[in-house]
Amino acid sequence: MSSGLPIVQASSTAEGRAMQSHVTIREARSDEFEGLGQLMVSVYSRLEGFPGPDEQPKYYELLAHIGRMSERPATRLLVAVSGDALVGGVVYFSDMAQYGSGGSATREKDAAGFRLLAVDPGARGLGVGRALVEACIARAKEDGVSQVIIHTTRAMTVAWKMYERMGFERSPDLDFRQEALEVFGLRLRL
């Protein structure tokens, strides 16, 4: 994965035709950090029902400076690229102590996790989000852990449904509140 793994995904358009997208998932380069941060801020700030930058400035500061996450131990910043275009990203944690969420997730053992998944709106429906999740699952298997832990919110219904289709199950013991926002835990047993 670290050298770049091409992943071809198929999805259906509204007309029912299959579309192909060539997406490479790899670790982010430092010259991509700023663009990825801008993408994440844009994606999260447009989610209907999700707190905006004025409501949770620390969260949006984290998104804007997402490259700093790569400085943490056991943490990888993965990007999805199509040609020269950066079309998505996610942060993968092989040690849940680095995960940085509320609730009990950071105390989980024998687990990996990912957070802050974002896909460029122009690339939605092309399998980019799924490819990023599959890359995280593959890394977790390489790391030899027995589960992958993630969080989502009601505002992230498209992602939540995708996670469930991929085998993630609700895990209420991981739920927490981020200020006024309810955050829901999910697990995938490997």
pTM, entire model: 0.88
**Burial (CB count <10 Å: 0-12, 13-18, 19+), residue 16:** exposed
* DSSP line for 109-142: SSEEEEEEEEE-GGGTTTTHHHHHHHHHHHHHHH
Per-residue pLDDT band for 12 (boundaries 50, 70, 90) equals very low
Which domains are delineated in the chain?
Answer: 5-189 (3.40.630.30)
Over residues 65-123, the pLDDT tens digits come to 999 999 999 999 999 999 999 999 999 999 999 999 989 999 999 999 999 999 999 99
Query: The tokens of 48 are what?
Result: 């209907």
Query: The tokens of 60 are what?
Result: 């949006």
Which residue type does 18 have? A
